Chains A and B, each alone.
Chain A
Amino acid sequence: AQKVTQAQTEISVVEKEDVTLDCVYETRDTTYYLFWYKQPPSGELVFLIRRNSFDEQNEISGRYSWNFQKSTSSFNFTITASQVVDSAVYFCALSEGRRAGNQFYFGTGTSLTVIP
């Protein structure tokens, strides 16, 4: 079974619109960590954020915000006032705390296109 599900394969929005990328995860661990990565057309994955399972406080960084809800096992990512430079593939990932070291489980990614 997929540990991380990103149901949205592709999303297109017009510049300045807000967009939310969904991420649903599955784990039996009580301690776990969630991540978002951005993969622009250049190809290199860029780390955006890490959250731990004990901290459900939402986080905002500029136009980016993340909504972590344990009740629905979701860690959604919202881009406010989207820009063309936000066009990329976004990956959500999970790391489980009970294991030594950390193995990452990645979702299949959501391709975001921001139309000027």
Chain B
Amino acid sequence: GAGVSQSPSNKVTEKGKDVELRCDPISGHTALYWYRQSLGQGLEFLIYFQGNSAPDKSGLPSDRFSAERTGGSVSTLTIQRTQQEDSAVYLCASSLGQANTEAFFGQGTRLTVV
């Protein structure tokens, strides 16, 4: 596709359930990023994939959060045993992976844990 695609756009889940959020980056982009944005807040970095390098997981808030990127393309962010504080918009972005290149963002997945 032309841009970064995220699915689902909205997800409501019960506390304690696991959720998977999907990100389809722009074709050819080697770098992929996940951010979290709580209501009215800034962007909280979660994880960064760059090519075949080990991902930078330094932003994951707990071991309930994990992400993988298969074949250097699609990425899945998994949240296990969801908590109400996990409610937020989860944003995915991709870039060409060079320092001088901008990131392009998807529309985000709005996660609500009830």
Contact = CB atoms under 8 A, between A and B. Distances in A.
A13 interface: no
Interface stretch (A17-25, A44-52, A62-70, A76-84): A44-52
Classify the secondary structure of B's interface with A. loop
Given A101-B53, A101-B98, A101-B99, A106 B42 contact: yes
A109 B100 contact: no
Given A101-B31, A102-B95, A33 B105 contact: no
**Size category, B interface:** 20 to 34
Contacts of B97: 101-102
Given A43-B89, A45-B105, A100-B53, A108 B98 contact: no
Given A35-B102, A104-B33, A43 B108 contact: yes
A107 B43 CA distance: 8
A58 interface: no
A28 interface: no
Interface residues of A, number: 26
Nearest to B44: A106
Contacts of B43: 91, 106, 109
Given A43-B107, A50-B101, A102-B95, 13 more contacts: A33-B100, A43-B108, A44-B106, A45-B91, A47-B102, A47-B104, A50-B100, A100-B50, A102-B31, A102-B98, A103-B48, A103-B56, A106-B45
Interface of A: 31-33, 35, 37, 43-47, 50, 52, 91, 95-97, 99-104, 106-109
